């Protein structure tokens, strides 16, 4: 089978509300663990 040629361009971007509060000394990856 012929291998598909790779796309000429790959570019995408997602967006959401910015609410990051971590710093390198601590990170809470997700919401409350409970």
Partner 1 sequence: MPSADTQTQAARIPGRLANTGIGPTFSPIDIGHADYMAVVEPDTAFWSLVRKDSLADVLTNRRFLNAYMEKAEVFAAQMDGLRFGLTPSAVYFNPTERCNLNCKYCYIPADMRAHGEHMSASRLIEALEILEKHFRSVMPEGRLPQIVFHGAEPLLNREAVFAGIEKFDDRMRFGVQTNATLLDDEAISFLTGRGVGIGISLDGRTAEVADRARVNWNGQGVSKKVVAAMKKLRGYPGFNVICTVTAKNLHSLPGIAAYFHENEVPACLLNMVRCTLPGAREIKPDDEEAATWFVKALEKTHELYRKTGRKLVVANFANIILGVVAPTARRLMCDISPCGGGRCFFALAPSGDVFPCSEFVGLPDFKGGNLFADQIPDILKSPAFAKVTGRKVEDIEPCKRCAVRHFCGSPCPAEAVEMNGGMDRPGAFCRFYERQVRYALRLIAEGRHDDFLWDGWDADAETVFDLRSI
Indicate the SS3 state at residue 28: coil
Residues 4-33 within binding reach of partner 1 (CB under 8 A): 6-33
Token pair 């997602």 is found at: 14
* Residue 2 interacts with partner 1 (CB under 8 A): yes or no: no
Would you state the structure tokens that stand for residue 12, as one six-digit string? 């995408």
Could you tell me the smallest distance in angstroms from the CB atom of residue 4 to partner 1? 12
Q: In 3D, which of 17, 7, 1, 21 has the Cα closest to residue 30?
A: 21
Could you tell me the smallest distance in angstroms from the CB atom of residue 1 to partner 1? 19
Q: How many residues bind partner 1 (CB under 8 A)?
A: 29
Query: Which residues are at the interface with partner 1 (CB under 8 A)?
Result: 6-34
């Amino acid at each position: 089978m012929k291998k598909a040629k790779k796309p000429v361009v790959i570019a995408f971007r997602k967006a959401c509300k910015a609410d990051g509060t971590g710093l390198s000394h601590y990170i809470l990856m997700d919401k409350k663990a409970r």
